[in-house]
Structure 1
Amino acid sequence: MSEAAIGRKRGADALRVTPRRRLTGLVAALLFEALVVLALLTLGTRRTVPMAEDRPLSTFDVTEPEAEPTDVQKPEPARQAKKETSTTPPLPTPVAVTPPPPATVKVPEPVVKLPSPVVTLPADQMASADLRNFPPAKPRGPAGPPAPRGEADSEVVGRAPNGERLYAAAWLREPYDSELRGYLSTADPGWALIACKTVPDYKVDDCVALDEWPNGSRLARAVLAAAWQFKVKPPRVGGSYKVGEWVRIRIDYGIKGRG
């Protein structure tokens, strides 16, 4: 037999399980299981020692007590009392309650009788004091400042819209171009006549249009809108200015002269 065949035979014999080997493994497995069961049983049989209910618990400190210093003086009673009183919390501050003010009683003022303002006159004085015996006062028209001496009265140039006399106007100050430019810019060049009533402070009011040239130039309407800025003297009548009289004003636009 060759060496290779001999080696294969030995390997097969080594792998073959004999009854002896089987018995040995079975005994070892049963022994291991018995040990495990015994260990589990011994865990449940451990007894605990109960604590005595009547035995008190005591604690102690193993550190040595410090010796009290001999040179330290005990606090005096006064200082100790002062220390105890300082720790006492302060009492709350009482809140001052202000009483309500007393009710005031209004006393009515005494009624004082004044003497009668009626004065009794004799019969002859009563007759002389009758207002019906005085002559009626003469009506006066609105007056202005006195006219300078030597100047003639204003010229009458027609009739006002209400039928009164219409005087030629005299400028106190001719209107500036800046005052008329915005109003006359909406009209065509030409001239316009208006009639106004004089009022205090050399102003005019209640103005009405009289005439314009050319017709349809809308110049009279523009002059009426700008008349609130005019400064005109009242007409002179009887040597003095008469405020409230009517005057005629002419404005030229785009042609030579203005008056």
Structure 2
Amino acid sequence: MTLKIIVPVKHVPDATGDRCFADDHTTDREAVDGLLSELDEYAVEQALQLAESTDDAEVVALTVGPDDAVDALRRALAMGAHRAVHVSDEAIHGSDALATSAILAKAIEHVGYDLIVCGMASTDGAMGVIPALLAERLAVPQVTLLAELALDGGTLTGRREADHATERLRAGLPALVSVTDQSGEARYPTFKGIMAAKKKPVESLDLDDLGLTGDQLGLAGARTTVRTITAQPPRQAGTLIEDDGEGAKQLAAFLAERKFL
């Protein structure tokens, strides 16, 4: 029987770009290039490693977002995921974490799953709540923030690095896990993988396919609201210290004045 591993991924604005907000206080995704969230790359990597250690496994990348979000799926496919699912619908625009978790849960049930592997957080919202919300909606065990992950038959084991201890955790399948950036470097897509990704299937779904309506989704149904936005102030010129023999003293005085010393 094929082990089905679902990896929810997110298409996020490039952190090196000039990110800004649209008039409705949502992220303006047209103003900056997007890419697969870096923290989700670790989840894809761990899912692929589990699949490679299993005789019969399938890794399915899943995203919710506008048309451009398919780029995140293509990256996951280029890394080695077998197929992808893209949920896109105009009514989704502006959905908060609660609504997004509801959409993802329905999509995961639609696809079918044995294991869900998430990143620890997205690099734009950085809330880190989607894994827990998904596990609650799907009524499966959650084993989160793992630095190490293994699968033996129907038993999942993991290692979590806490502040003052190392925790060893275990859960039976079906289950949900999230992995941290300590779980191991994500592989870089090869040219062969990039070309192969173009031929891999990407299934498109909308809210009707999932049996959802827009009443509790989008901006109108969001339980969290952005009320005001303040632009980041322009970067000020720095202070130049010329070392004429007193440079060290000037630097120490500069740091002490700003209470860095």
Query: Taking structure 2 as the reference length, what is the TM-score of the superposition?
Result: 0.16
The answer to which structure, 1 or 2, has the higher relative contact order (CA under 8 A, 6+ apart) is 2
Q: Which has more strand, going by share of residues?
A: 2
> Which one has a bigger Cα radius of gyration?
1
